[in-house]
């Protein structure tokens, strides 16, 4: 006796849904248990982090151009020619974008991060000493672990439309998060200022040497003009408070925990728990149907054989 198409057809999703509804108490219990366990872990066991943010904006480089570029900018402004303005604005936009990419690369680099950690003695705070037995069982490079910790807590966003850079930092203490993020900002400014002063000093030395060895009065005059321009840049880098970028919003953040998100994580865990319970019930029902189908086939075959 052959099985009919109806008997061979697999159960539909509707039938599985009926099975889940029939055992809804198990599904609800699984969701409740998953949500409660997740709530207890996220609320009491996991480290709570506060997140603070700061908003930076690169200084308009057109205001800092000197020498030939400054003269070109002034000429373009005086002429008021749209054909001259558009290429200059495009170049300045590209220059700002390159500058921001330089900022982000520096902020996330290993040398900058570890220099900040060492200079401000953050190692003991971020990476408390571990027990000797734990170090033997799970050895790790402490310096690289510090760098990973800082990079995990530090984050950046760059909005190309506005040109603004947003810096974020997470910590167990909101006040400490503000302090460390301010250290990032101050250290970046100091590094950029130091590089600008050093670059200008090297340029002044090279141009002065060239001017001494030049007999052409016109060329010598141009070289001295470039030297004056470099001295102006060096002085500006040393005395300007908002050198290279302006802090629009100083480090600040809400008083609520940023991570973990206890309520959201618990709700997601409850949903996942209910889904897993439903899948288990559907799998059990499928196995039961399969077992009953095999039993029915064996019974049918036994009846046919006895009839023969």
| DSSP tag of 44 | I
The 10 Å CB-count burial string (b at 16+, else e) for 115-127 is: ebbeeeebbeeeb
In the chain, where the domains are located: 5-45+261-307, 50-252
Is 244 within 8 Å of 189 (Cβ atoms)? yes
Strands of the 245-252 sheet, one edge to the other: 154-159, 164-171, 50-58, 245-252
Residue with tokens 């480089």: 61
Is 273 within 8 Å of 34 (Cβ atoms)? yes
pTM for the model? 0.75
pLDDT, one tens digit for every residue, the chain (308 residues): 444 444 455 667 777 788 888 889 999 999 999 999 999 999 999 999 999 999 999 886 544 444 333 433 433 343 344 344 444 444 445 677 888 999 999 999 999 999 999 999 999 899 887 778 888 888 889 899 999 999 999 999 999 888 899 999 999 999 999 999 999 999 999 999 988 888 888 888 888 888 888 888 888 888 888 888 888 888 887 777 777 899 999 999 999 999 999 999 999 999 999 999 999 988 888 888 777 777 777 777 766 777 65
Give dist(CA 204, CA 214) in Å, integer: 15
Per-residue tokens: 224: 């001295």
For residue 166, list its beta bridge partners.
55, 157
Give dist(CA 258, CA 143) in Å, integer: 27
């Amino acid at each position: 006796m052959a099985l009919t198409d109806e008997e061979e057809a697999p159960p539909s999703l509707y039938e599985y849904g009926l099975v889940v509804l029939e055992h809804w108490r198990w599904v609800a219990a699984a969701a409740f248990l998953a949500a409660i366990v997740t709530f207890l872990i996220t609320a009491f066991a996991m480290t709570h982090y506060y997140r603070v943010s700061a908003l930076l904006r690169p200084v308009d480089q057109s205001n800092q151009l000197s020498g030939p570029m400054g003269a070109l900018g002034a000429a373009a402004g005086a002429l008021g020619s749209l054909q001259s303005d558009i290429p200059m604005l495009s170049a300045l936009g590209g220059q700002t974008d390159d500058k921001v990419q330089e900022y982000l690369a520096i902020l996330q680099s290993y040398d900058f991060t570890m220099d900040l950690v060492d200079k401000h003695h953050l190692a003991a705070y971020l990476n408390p000493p571990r027990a000797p037995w734990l170090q033997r069982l799970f050895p790790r490079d402490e310096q690289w672990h510090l760098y990973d910790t800082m990079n995990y807590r530090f984050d950046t966003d760059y909005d190309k439309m506005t040109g603004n850079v947003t810096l974020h930092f997470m910590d167990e203490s909101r006040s400490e998060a503000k302090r460390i993020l301010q250290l990032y900002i101050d250290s970046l400014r100091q590094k950029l200022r130091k590089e600008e002063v050093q670059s200008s000093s090297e340029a002044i030395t090279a141009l002065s040497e060239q001017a001494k060895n030049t007999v052409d009065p016109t060329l010598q005059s141009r070289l001295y003009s470039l030297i004056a321009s470099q001295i102006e840049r060096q002085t500006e880098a040393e005395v300007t408070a908002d050198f290279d970028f302006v802090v629009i919003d100083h480090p600040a953040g809400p008083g609520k925990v940023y991570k973990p998100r206890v309520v959201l994580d618990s709700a997601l865990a409850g949903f996942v728990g209910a889904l897993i319970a439903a899948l288990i019930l559907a799998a059990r029902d499928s196995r039961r149907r399969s077992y009953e189908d095999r039993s029915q086939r064996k019974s049918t075959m036994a009846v046919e054989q006895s009839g023969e």
